[in-house]
Structure 1
């Protein structure tokens, strides 16, 4: 065969990562909103002598940095989608961005818990009226940001937030960041109102600890899902489904590997043992047709010469 004809048996490994994802534009808008609110809260904190507002402004600054990482991950994955340096494209950059965001979320939760304990020991004076006003505006901005990230413009205008089944880990990490911001603003409003009208100043650090626990739960779930992608964890459900597709009559999948190579995309390597071998394209087409999420399939076909060999292969 002439080398010029080899292209007929080759295909791109970008798997659509060169296309701009909807989450990229949304995250960029949220970064801008977060930066504006961060500057206002820090300025208000200094002006009103409120450490609570100053801390919340710095907290939003850390989230703006995390969201910036998410935007970078989107752009990097798109720019390098066709690079030959990546065996299966840049799909995992999305998971890496989500993992980094989750680590920052966990760090923020630890900081929040430590600061809350410190305020139990050394209470700070809060300018309640100014703090409540800025916290309400912050809650509104974070609510708008969460709506921007969670509102699905591409699939029937659904208003459901990114779930654990959402394959865009970058978008999910960004969504959890603004949700954590909204949660801290909401808890701050509740605590400030309780402190102003009931004199319960201890509510401020108590709400901080509660918020840290909830944020830790979000971070753990995101770390679990993204690390599974980064470490090529076997997808047991899809593996079973592929076995059911392949193992009909005489065929046995003696060796099967299924792993994620991008948001909602999987690669498969399978060795098929049978007494009546078909071309590898036959099995590849069966898998691709039955499972739309499988973007790359490699098949090895081995002829089984006896019942003993077949039993041994199984």
Structure 2
């Protein structure tokens, strides 16, 4: 058989998200915004004695690092998308980046919580007016960053409805962008808490509120860290992304005397699912016949079916 005739039987293993390039561009922009505000908040919080402001600044620093990792993962995944060394493409690079950033967040949450507890026992003088100005600017930057990332995250809310139309669920999430969006929202929340604490200290002399809010901020960071770790880790471990989709595949393949003896379902990248199925039958048909039964199931990007004859 001539080599050129084999081209019709080959296919690419490029499983990047539909908005991969746009998401990378927006992520780099938010990295710049977040890193700039991070420096202002950490320096300002240190000068003016606000632990809540320092906590928010370090919180933003973790996001800047995590977002930078995410942006580099986008770049690397694009550059090596056609590299044959990656058996199923580079679609999982985002999950690896998301898991790494989640680990960083967990460590920083512990550090912020520890520092805030020390400040509770050993208070320092706070210059509230100056710290408030920085906190408000920080909140504005956080909200602007969330607005930049909103489109990529907005599509996730339709998953429950979409399950009835092909069974796709979490496999459309770009965990890089989802993590970035949630982290920016967490930043906005800690900024609001910091402003509240500074106002309470400014007008009611509740100086203890500032380190207390630092502890709350640490808990918020830890919460998002665990959530992102679980979501990205599930993909890295090839956990079945959608039980309903697996059930629908089984229902479609088991027709007549055909029986499904083995099914592997995993996520290759945002919006891309891989399937390997083993079918036994009294009257086996060509693999393409079984693949045709799965047509219309959204997100199946790499389908392999092996068929075996098994009388009675």
- TM-score normalised by structure 2 residue count: 0.88
How far the C-alpha of 1:44 sits from its partner, in A, is: 3.1
Q: Distance in 2 between matches of 1:67 and 1:39?
A: 16
Q: How does 1:102-113 map to 2 (within 5 A)?
A: 102-113=102-113
Quote the residue 1:293 is aligned against: 299
Q: 1:152-210: per-residue Cα shift (whole Å, max 9, x none)?
A: 59x8xx79799994510000111122222212211111111111111111111222222
Bigger drift between 110-119 and 295-304 goes to 110-119
Comparing both chains, which one has the higher relative contact order based on Cα–Cα distances under 8 Å and sequence gaps of 6 or more?
A: 2
Matching residue within 168, 174, 179 for 1:173: 179
- Against the structure 1 CA distance between its residues 173 and 162, is the aligned structure 2 distance closer, same or farther, given a 3 Å change threshold? farther
Unaligned runs of 5+ in 1: 307-314
1-structure distance, mates of 2:248, 2:158: 28
Contact 2:65–2:101 (8 Å) recurs in 1: no
Tell me the number of residue pairs that the alignment of Structure 1 and Structure 2 aligns.
Answer: 302
Partner of 1:31: 31
Matched, 1:147 2:147: yes
The answer as to whether partners of 2:70 and 2:176 remain within 8 angstroms in 1 is: yes
Checking the alignment, whether the CA contact within 8 Å between 2:48 and 2:128 is kept in structure 1 is no
Cα deviation, 1:249-282, whole Å, max 9, x if unaligned, reads 2111111111111112111111111112110111
Q: Shift of residue 290 of structure 1?
A: 3.0
Partner of 1:247: 254
In 2, Cα distance between equivalents of 1:174 and 1:125: 34
- Partner residue in 2 for 1:187: 193
What's the TM-score, normalizing by structure 1? 0.88
Question: In structure 2, do the counterparts of structure 1 residues 16 and 56 end up closer, same or farther at CA, with 3 Å as the change threshold?
Answer: closer
Provide the C-alpha distance between the structure 2 equivalents of 1:292 and 1:283, rounded to a whole number of angstroms: 16
Deviations 1:71-103 (A, max 9, x none): 101111111110001011100001111111221
Gaps of 5+ in 2: 161-168
* Shift in alpha-carbon separation, 1:29–1:204, aligned structure 2, 3 A: same
3-state SS in 2 of match to 1:148: helix
Mean Cα deviation higher: 104-113 or 249-258: 104-113
Q: Of the candidates 275, 286, 301, which is equivalent to residue 282 of structure 2?
A: 275
Do the aligned partners of 2:50 and 2:210 also contact (CA within 8 Å) in 1?
no
Q: Which structure 2 residues correspond to residues 7-22 of structure 1 after superposition, within 5 A?
A: 7-16=7-16, 20-22=20-22
Q: CA RMSD in A?
A: 2.6
Instruction: State the secondary structure of the residue aligned to 1:268.
Output: strand
- What's the CA shift for 1:143? 0.9
Partners of 2:262 and 2:278 within 8 A in 1: yes
Tell me which residue corresponds to 1:311: none
Distance 1:19 1:148, change over 3 A: closer
